[in-house]
């Protein structure tokens, strides 16, 4: 596969990239627990922190309840749109459910849980699929074990709390990493990315829509200890600065809750979103699409393999790019622009790294290139 790329945002290159789709980007924080389950904050407290953290959309996911939808209710709180989903919580196999009025019971079989969410028109995402638990923190593993079952929208490819807690090796290391929430979390875990790649390839061969990768905080702001010794494990504002899911909308939000909820649902359902390590940069303006002749397809799409099909992307800051075909890195690039010839069917996705240490910043959803059936 050939790879060509630009190094600067010179005008000529900007013109070359004039077909970058016109998208409106919003910053979503999802997978958040309030006092309605085992989080320490009321929804209104959390919303105050969300506004201070420049969050456009907060997707609340208490365990097995949507009480937040009654009190305080979905809607705008200052700049932040509150939407209320839920985390369905059997002993293992947690499932995030969004855009559904009814949550299935955690007592049901997992196949039935997944099925019910989609029957009710919702989206569902496997939460922290490779969670290991932690013996020192006395956390059991909440791993996804029902690996034969399909029908969900996608999975969390990065969950801040799970990644952090799995890595705690002792009390001192735990306290140290609480002061530096990013230590050891410079990239999503390889097993989570590998699982995503595997499911995405499978979806492509089975002609499914794809498997959408999202990133969650799993914010709880749990208080441990008492009195003078009380300590909050990642206050909401700290969690809100970790993993986000950026969504790319075809039109701007207009503060009409029904309209805006529909746009966010479309982007998350169709894979027009990217997992962002917000701590390493919050710049907006990323775009990823496939292009051939006069046609272009946004990220998340199925794309027919045509001669001169190209994968293109723009970053708002200079980065290092990794290009992956069916989970294998096939080329790299540096700079603002990525422009790669696509010669084979399969799942194409990119990763963006930044800084001297090449930390993982953005993990956008792939395009799914389908062999031309007429050939």
* Closer residue to Zn ion (CB): 21 or 167: 167
**Minimum distance between the CB of residue 33 and Zn ion, rounded to whole angstroms?**
6
DSSP state of 101: S
**Minimum distance between the CB of residue 127 and Zn ion, rounded to whole angstroms?**
5
The C-alpha atoms of residue 120 and residue 115 are separated, in whole angstroms, by 9
**Minimum distance between the CB of residue 111 and Zn ion, rounded to whole angstroms?**
19
Locate 17 and state its tokens. 């990239």
Q: Which of residues 28-87 bind Zn ion (CB under 5 A)?
A: 87
Helix (H, G, I), strand (E, B) or coil at 14: helix
- Structural element, H or E, at residue 63: none
CA atoms within 13 A on the CB side of 188: 33
Asked if 218 is part of the footprint of Zn ion (rule: CB under 5 A), the reply reads yes
* Closer residue to Zn ion (CB): 127 or 369: 127
CB atoms inside a 10 Å sphere around CB 228:
5
* Closer residue to Zn ion (CB): 159 or 340: 159
Q: Which residue is nearest to Zn ion (CB)?
A: 94
Sequence length of the chain is 375
Place of tokens 């875990």: 189
* Closer residue to Zn ion (CB): 16 or 64: 64
**What are the two backbone dihedrals, phi and then psi, of residue 78, each rounded to the nearest 5 degrees?**
65, -130
Q: Which of residues 92-131 bind Zn ion (CB under 5 A)?
A: 94, 127
**Number of residues in contact with Zn ion under rule CB under 5 A:** 4
Helix (H, G, I), strand (E, B) or coil at 177: helix
**Minimum distance between the CB of residue 267 and Zn ion, rounded to whole angstroms?**
22
* Closer residue to Zn ion (CB): 222 or 341: 222
* Closer residue to Zn ion (CB): 6 or 41: 41
Asked if 211 is part of the footprint of Zn ion (rule: CB under 5 A), the reply reads no
- Residues 6 or more apart in contact with residue 46 via CB below 8 angstroms: 32, 34, 39, 58, 60, 219, 236
**Minimum distance between the CB of residue 173 and Zn ion, rounded to whole angstroms?**
23
Binding residues for Zn ion (CB under 5 A): 87, 94, 127, 218
């Amino acid at each position: 596969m050939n790879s060509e790329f630009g190094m600067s945002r010179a005008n000529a290159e900007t013109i070359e990239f004039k077909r970058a789709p016109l998208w409106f980007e919003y910053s979503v924080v999802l997978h958040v627990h309030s006092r309605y389950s085992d989080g320490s904050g009321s929804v209104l407290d959390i919303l105050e922190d969300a506004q201070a953290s420049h969050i456009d959309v907060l997707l609340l996911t208490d365990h097995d309840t949507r009480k937040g939808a009654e009190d305080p209710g979905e809607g705008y709180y200052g700049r932040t749109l509150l939407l209320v989903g839920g985390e369905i919580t059997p002993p293992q196999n947690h499932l995030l459910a969004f855009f559904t009025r009814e949550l299935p019971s955690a007592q049901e079989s997992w196949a039935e849980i997944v099925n019910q969410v989609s029957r009710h028109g919702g989206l569902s995402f496997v939460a922290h699929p490779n969670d290991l638990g932690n013996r020192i923190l006395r956390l059991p593993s909440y791993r996804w074990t029902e690996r034969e079952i399909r029908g969900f929208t996608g999975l969390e490819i990065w969950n801040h709390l799970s990644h952090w807690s799995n890595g705690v090796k002792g009390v001192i290391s735990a306290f140290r990493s609480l002061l530096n929430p990013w230590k050891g979390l410079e990239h999503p875990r390889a097993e989570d990315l590998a699982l995503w790649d595997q499911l995405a390839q499978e979806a492509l061969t089975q002609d499914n829509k794809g498997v959408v990768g999202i990133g969650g905080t799993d914010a709880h702001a749990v208080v441990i200890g008492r009195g003078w010794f009380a300590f909050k494990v990642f206050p909401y504002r700290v969690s809100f600065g970790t993993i986000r899911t950026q969504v790319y909308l075809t039109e701007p939000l207009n503060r009409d809750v029904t309209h805006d909820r529909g746009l966010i649902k479309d982007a998350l359902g169709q894979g027009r979103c990217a997992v962002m390590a917000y701590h390493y940069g919050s710049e907006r303006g990323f775009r990823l699409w496939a292009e051939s002749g006069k046609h272009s397809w946004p990220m998340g799409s199925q794309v027919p393999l045509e001669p001169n099909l190209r994968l293109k992307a723009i970053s708002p800051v200079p980065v290092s790019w990794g290009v992956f075909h069916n989970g294998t890195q096939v080329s790299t690039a540096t700079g603002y622009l990525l422009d790669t010839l696509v010669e084979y069917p399969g799942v194409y996705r990119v990763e963006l790294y930044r800084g001297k240490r090449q930390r993982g910043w953005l993990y956008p959803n792939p395009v799914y290139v389908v062999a031309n059936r007429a050939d």
